[in-house]
Amino acid sequence: MKKLTYMSLACLIFAASCNEKETSDSTKQMDITPPKADKIAKNLEMHGDVRDDSYYWLNDRENAEVIDYLERENDYYDKMTAHTDGFKDDLFEEMKSRIKEDDASVPYFYNGYYYITRYETGQDYPIYSRKKGSLDAEEEILFNVNDMAKGHSYFNMNGLNVSPDNKWVAFGVDTVSRRKYTIHIKNLETNEILKETIPLTTGGSTWANDSKTLFYTKKDEQTLRSNQIFRHIKGTPAASDKLIFTEEDETFGTYIYKTKSEKYLVIGSYSTLTSEFQILDANKPNGDFKVFQPRTRGLEYSISHFGDQFYIVTNLNNATNFKLMKTSESNTNMEDWVEVIPHRDDVYLEDIDIFKEYLVVSERENGLNKIHIQRWDGTEDYYLPFERETYTASPTQNIEFDTKILRYAYNSLGTPASIIDFNMETREKEVKKQTEVLGGNFDPANYEEKRVWATAADGTKIPVSMIYRKGMKKDGSNPLLQYGYGSYGATMDPYFSSVRLSLLDRGFIYAIAHVRGGQYLGRQWYENGKLLTKKNTFTDFIDVSKFLIAEGYTSPDHLYAQGGSAGGLLMGAVVNMAPELYNGVIAAVPFVDVVTTMLDDSIPLTTGEYDEWGNPNEKEYYDYMKSYSPYDNVSAQEYPNMFVTTGLHDSQVQYWEPAKWVAKLREMKTGDNILLLHTNMEAGHGGASGRFEGLKEVAKNYAFFLDLEGKTE
């Protein structure tokens, strides 16, 4: 069946009530001419292969003609969706009304203080505060970010780091959204912010135990790779900071932190497949860091300190799903590591949390989170019980070392997020907070959540987490939004969203396709969706779509898809391979010009991505990338209705990738389905700053899907 266009569908749905003015407005909207980007001949050659990239010129944010094109696309979006402006506003207010504005985090205790993050009604940004010794003590405001953000169209603070003596706090600020943070230091006794500033950092920092020495990570100006560790002495200019370590390998990044025991400073170096750590006594910040275990390609490990031992989560000796080992402080080379928890083929070991009396292990089995608790003395050994199949549970904010309380977060597709304190000795739990859904209309009993399994073309079973209103009939008429990501081993766990209720309560089914490329079913699930098996990610998503249609959950006229960043690559590949399955697709900040980007090592993140996508300087990887790269595979066919978003200052996926892709789609696509591009001219990869500004972007997305379904109220 030929799909109805975005505008004509809305008009047909309401044909009986369209008056002459509405009909005239709709006709006027249909006559709007989409912008057209100029084509400037540009041939890119590699391995004897020539690619025509006539939109390459869009790769210049300083070019006035580029900005003009992006603004014309924004204007086109505004005009084509003007009939939903009121609906977007309504959706925004509806979503906002479910959120408790005067809200606060569960306080956590660290080094003599309770720390709290809270929001006030009508304010977009958090207030960070603390109370000394007791929650009844007087509140001390560390930062009111609302005041700090005034005068900035974008504002992001990160890396808050209080010194061991509780007198100083370091923090990072980004006002452009390029993730280039400037570190500042505040005196918590006088509330004075020191004049010294440290630019071009990750924002994070780590105090040595003397409370005057601060370590931080610097970024490369051009590639934004985190490549240098510096030592700063409070009260001195940043220009005099000492360079401690440079990560010379362009495929690696670096960072620094302090162990939970507070005994060691740790420099980490990381790539997709390999890791390395260096350690230094935190009481001796002027000393030399010692390599824990020299990097060996393919060896991944992370370290935690306890007593006179280091505990190591590692894939040593082909432990694909990782195992736990330990070694003494004095002898850290892997030849002396001793196994604590062996490798298991069916259980993926994700992380550990160390307490004075307990070891807590986060695992994943058959896609489900599990939390295993055992005493160091071996007298207790058990799992926390979870009953659903569409939940997410993980330890959180366990900063205290000498405590019997494990704090963890829990939620499911139909259960609002909870913060729970669990007494590991008595096995009693206390729900410290469950996210409130305001408005009085939400009742978990009205929704059904389930996990189903689709079969891929190669016979692999693909898990799908779903939620919908009870009473849903499998007759193919339901609108369904299918979400996916599938890269970097990142698992898209099922989680509750009060915002999502705006879709569910209008009849949508929401489904997460846990495709290969993530780690939902363990490390091998990731390995089978990267490099020369990357296409499994795309075909898995398509096979899930076919399954959902075959089972009657939806149909091609009502199936929608969404993904962002590497998930935007997924969207781009899917619409090239199976456009007939979807009525509408949103690709947010999509990574769609894979070959060109991966050949340009001046672009942020490129060299560090070779282990994920392959190095196209090698012909085998070049050919494979080119075979799926969305931009290189646009063809003369009918594409779904599409909405593409980006940010001018995006440091992860440069704005020109989606801009070029949309320009090429406009040139080549057939049919009347609409194609929209919107560029946030003041933001980057994460979109707008502020807790409610982001909701406006969600409202745009939901209005796009709902209007295609003829739902405008």
Three-class DSSP labels, 392-453: EEEECCCCCCCCCEEEEEEEECCEEEEEEEEECCCCCEEEEEECCCCCCCCCHHHEEEEEEE
Residue 159, phi then psi, degrees to nearest 5: 70, 30
Question: What is the structure's pLDDT at 345?
Answer: 95
Pair (113, 87) in one structural domain: no
Judge whether 650 counts as a catalytic residue.
yes
Q: Could you tell me if residue 334 is inside a domain?
A: no
Question: What is the structure's pLDDT at 688?
Answer: 55
- What's the number of domains the chain is made of? 3
Question: What is the structure's pLDDT at 388?
Answer: 86
Q: Could you tell me if residue 513 is inside a domain?
A: yes
The answer to whether residues 387 and 370 touch, using CB atoms and an 8 Å cutoff, is no
Q: Could you tell me if residue 306 is inside a domain?
A: no
Supply the CATH number for residue 216's domain. Answer: 2.130.10.120
Question: What is the structure's pLDDT at 430?
Answer: 96
**Marked catalytic residue, from 502, 565, 651, 689:** 565
Question: What is the structure's pLDDT at 692?
Answer: 80
Pair (246, 281) in one structural domain: yes
Q: Could you tell me if residue 272 is inside a domain?
A: yes
**Marked catalytic residue, from 545, 650, 678, 707:** 650
Q: Which residues contact 561 (CB under 8 A, 6 or more apart)?
A: 481, 482, 483, 484, 541, 545, 571, 574, 582, 584, 585, 586
Question: What is the structure's pLDDT at 26?
Answer: 45
Place of tokens 């509780």: 166
Pair (191, 81) in one structural domain: no
Q: Could you tell me if residue 405 is inside a domain?
A: no
Q: Which two tokens stand for residue 608?
A: 């560090």
Supply the CATH number for residue 589's domain. Answer: 3.40.50.1820
**Marked catalytic residue, from 26, 163, 685, 689:** 685
Pair (634, 658) in one structural domain: yes
Q: What angle do CA 71, 75, 76 make, to 5 degrees?
A: 115
Pair (691, 704) in one structural domain: yes
By CB neighbour count within 10 A (0-12 exposed, 13-18 middle, 19+ buried), where does 27 fall?
exposed
What's the whole-model pTM score?
0.87
Distance CA 35, CA 72 (A): 6
SS3 103: coil
- The whole-number mean pLDDT for each consecutive block of 10 residues of the chain, a chain of 713 residues, reads 34 33 45 93 96 95 94 97 96 94 91 94 92 95 93 89 96 88 95 93 95 96 90 94 95 94 96 94 97 95 95 96 96 94 96 95 96 95 92 92 94 95 96 93 95 97 98 97 96 95 98 97 96 98 98 98 96 98 97 94 75 94 98 98 92 88 98 96 62 88 97 86
Question: What is the structure's pLDDT at 16?
Answer: 32
Measured CA to CA in angstroms, residue 497 lies from 174, 494, 685 at distances of 27, 10, 21
Print the domain residue range for 117: 104-151
Question: What is the structure's pLDDT at 231?
Answer: 98
Pair (691, 575) in one structural domain: yes
Judge whether 165 counts as a catalytic residue.
no
Q: Which two tokens stand for residue 232?
A: 């700063």
Pair (572, 554) in one structural domain: yes
Judge whether 707 counts as a catalytic residue.
no
Question: What is the structure's pLDDT at 283?
Answer: 97
Question: What is the structure's pLDDT at 9?
Answer: 31
Q: Could you tell me if residue 326 is inside a domain?
A: no
Q: Which residues contact 208 (CB under 8 A, 6 or more apart)?
A: 214, 215, 265, 282, 283, 285
Q: Could you tell me if residue 68 is inside a domain?
A: yes
Q: Which residues contact 247 (CB under 8 A, 6 or more apart)?
A: 225, 226, 227, 228, 253, 254, 269
Distance CA 592, CA 655 (A): 11
Pair (533, 513) in one structural domain: yes
Amino acid in the structure at residue 181: Y
Pair (474, 495) in one structural domain: yes
Pair (529, 627) in one structural domain: yes
Cα dihedral sign, 650-653-654-658: negative
Distance CA 591, CA 630 (A): 9
The answer to whether residues 607 and 597 touch, using CB atoms and an 8 Å cutoff, is no
Pair (117, 183) in one structural domain: no
Pair (509, 590) in one structural domain: yes
Place of tokens 């959540």: 449
Question: What's the Rg (C-alpha) of the chain?
Answer: 26
Q: Could you tell me if residue 47 is inside a domain?
A: yes
| CB neighbours of residue 159 within 10 Å | 19
